[in-house]
């Protein structure tokens, strides 16, 4: 039996032109697949979604290597299927490096 992959739901536009490690670009595409799945699952019977677009949301992505994380600013226009990322930095993955866990920042 063939299962339709979530990224085949529709064509999307991905803008990710900043110089960056190849693993960071792959991690961004993986995040787009996850966001597309959320979008598809949020559609009502009329094809409308109640998801809010993302506008320069700073997030941390993990790639294939367990010892690095990639910090990017994400943008997403769900209705248009347009996703963008501005690469900010590569940082060590402290949890995987055995140094300890990331501190929990209390909510204000």
- 6-18 pLDDT, tens digit per residue, is 557 889 999 988 8
Confidence of residue 32 (pLDDT cuts 50, 70, 90): very high
The residue ranking higher by pLDDT, 104 or 70, is: 70
- Pick from 30, 28, 78: which is nearest to 52 by CA? 78
Alpha carbon separation from 26 to 57, 72, 78, 103, 107 (Å, rounded)? 18, 13, 20, 27, 31
Q: What's the pTM value of the predicted model, to 2 decimals? A: 0.78
- 51-89 pLDDT, tens digit per residue, is 999 999 999 999 998 889 999 999 999 999 999 999 999
């Amino acid at each position: 039996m063939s299962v339709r992959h979530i990224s085949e739901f529709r064509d999307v536009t991905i803008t990710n032109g900043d110089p960056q490690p190849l693993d960071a670009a792959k991690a961004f595409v993986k995040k787009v697949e996850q966001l597309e799945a959320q979008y598809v699952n949020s559609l009502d019977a009329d094809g409308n979604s109640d998801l809010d677009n993302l506008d320069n949301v700073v997030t941390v992505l993990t790639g294939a290597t367990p010892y690095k994380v990639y910090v990017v600013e994400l943008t997403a226009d769900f209705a248009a299927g347009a996703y963008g990322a501005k690469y900010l930095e590569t940082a060590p993955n402290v949890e995987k490096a055995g140094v300890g866990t990331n501190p929990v920042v209390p909510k204000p």
